[in-house]
């Protein structure tokens, strides 16, 4: 049963987005430096299997396997000419899973950053960035994606370029940034300023928010700092904090922790909650239960976040100094 993100948001209920792609593929054999996008053609059954596991766990939104599917990322593997092919193929695989689901499931076309710096710090300019995103978004659209899910962004210039490509390609869009550098994005964008970066776009986003970053506690504080935004908020946090066990990266988040994170994200204003790095179908199933059994609580305080989710990794950004949501190093 096909639907749109707008229709699901209009229902008024909190929506569950899926979990991680790359870290789950690693558990299934993705090698170091291997682009996950190649699995679209090399291991399509595994791509569909992860989508299916997330749907079975209760996801309302599944993201395509296209985070790095732009020419700038793919050229690292001499595959920039495959941008459209891989994007379309990834959307088609996700579409097949969504269409077979017993309930409406949205296919969100994942659009990650180029990995390049904009002028004058780097060589990338607006026109080139738009063209790069346009190839990917056109493939996602033609493959059946319902919405462009622009994620893990750090610079307003790159957000604007990706949004421009989505609008020109006739796709509704969502934007999430990664606040992983002392409460800011790597390029200095503050959570409270994100809505302003989108205010002048000719088509408004369906939702905005944060993803990835450094942990579930920090993304909850980021969400609080987006209070008052005129768009539905998204929180798609990492499954705890990564650390090494031997040579393996392990995330500290348990299913129970991700369930607590989910209810606190809703209390902080999120309309869409999901997981990013380290979030497995098992974690997501626990988050589904948390949403379905949710009872409204108070807006979380810094103290409550630290008590129930864990200490913060980021230090306090200047704009929140002195507020009750102030970050601490823990």
Please name the helix (run of DSSP H) or strand (run of DSSP E) that holds residue 98, with its range, or none. Answer: helix 83-100
E strand intervals along the chain: 15-16, 61-63, 106-111, 147-153, 173-177, 207-212, 233-237, 242-245, 248-251, 270-275
Using pLDDT thresholds of 50, 70 and 90, give the confidence band for residue 225.
Answer: very high
40 pLDDT tier (thresholds 50, 70, 90): very high
* Within a domain: 330: no
Residue 147, classed as helix, strand or coil, is strand
Tell me the pTM: 0.93
Strand partners, 237: 212, 275
pLDDT of residue 313: 85
Is 9 among the domain residues? yes
Looking at the structure of the chain, the number of domains it has is 1
Residue 231 lies in a domain: yes
Asked whether the predicted pLDDT for residue 269 surpasses 90, the reply is yes
pLDDT band at 252 (very low <50, low <70, confident <90, very high): confident
What is the mean pLDDT of the segment spanning 94-99? Answer: 98
Q: The domain that contains 95 carries what CATH number?
A: 3.20.20.330
What tens digit of pLDDT does each residue of 277-328 get?
Answer: 999 999 999 999 999 999 999 999 999 999 999 999 875 443 443 343 333 2
Q: Domain range for residue 191?
A: 5-298
299-313 pLDDT per residue, tens: 999 999 999 999 998
Do residues 177 and 185 make contact, with C-beta atoms less than 8 angstroms apart? yes
User: Which of 151, 158, 263, 154 minimizes the C-alpha distance to 207?
Assistant: 151
Inside any domain, residue 84? yes
Q: Does some domain include residue 82?
A: yes
- Separation CA 96–CA 91 (nearest Å): 9
| Residue 43 backbone dihedrals phi, psi, to 5 degrees | -140, 60
Q: What is the pLDDT of residues 1-10, one digit of tens each?
A: 789 999 999 9
Is 328 part of any domain? no
Residue 329 lies in a domain: no
Question: Is 304 inside any structural domain?
Answer: no
């Amino acid at each position: 049963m096909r639907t749109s993100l707008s229709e699901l948001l209009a229902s008024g209920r909190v929506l569950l987005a899926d979990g991680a792609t790359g870290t789950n593929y690693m558990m299934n054999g993705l090698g170091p430096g291997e682009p996950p996008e190649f699995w679209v053609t090399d291991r399509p059954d595994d791509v569909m299997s992860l989508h299916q596991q997330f749907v079975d766990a209760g996801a309302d939104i599944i993201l395509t396997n296209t985070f790095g599917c732009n020419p700038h990322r793919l050229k690292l593997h001499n595959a920039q000419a495959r941008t459209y092919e891989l994007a379309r193929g990834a959307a088609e695989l996700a579409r097949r899973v969504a269409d077979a689901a017993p309930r409406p499931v949205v296919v969100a076309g994942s659009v990650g950053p180029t990995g390049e710096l904009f002028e004058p710090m780097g060589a990338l300019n607006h026109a080139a960035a738009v063209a790069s995103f346009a190839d990917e978004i056109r493939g996602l659209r033609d493959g059946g994606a319902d919405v462009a899910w622009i994620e893990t962004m750090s610079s307003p210039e790159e957000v604007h370029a990706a949004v421009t490509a989505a609008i020109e390609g006739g796709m509704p869009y969502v934007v999430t940034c990664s606040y992983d550098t002392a409460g800011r994005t790597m390029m200095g964008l503050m959570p409270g300023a994100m809505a302003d970066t989108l205010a002048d776009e000719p088509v408004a986003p369906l939702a905005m928010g944060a993803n990835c970053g450094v942990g579930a506690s920090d993304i909850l504080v980021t969400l609080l700092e987006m209070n008052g935004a005129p768009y539905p908020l998204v929180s798609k946090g990492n499954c705890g904090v990564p650390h090494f066990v031997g040579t393996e990266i392990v995330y500290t988040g348990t299913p129970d922790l991700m369930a607590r994170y989910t209810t606190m994200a809703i209390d902080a204003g999120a309309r869409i909650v999901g997981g990013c790095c380290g979030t497995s179908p098992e974690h997501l199933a626990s988050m589904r239960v948390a949403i379905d059994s949710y009872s409204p609580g108070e807006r979380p305080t810094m103290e409550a976040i630290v008590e129930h989710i864990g200490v913060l990794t980021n230090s306090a950004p200047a704009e929140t100094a002195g507020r009750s949501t102030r970050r601490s190093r823990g």
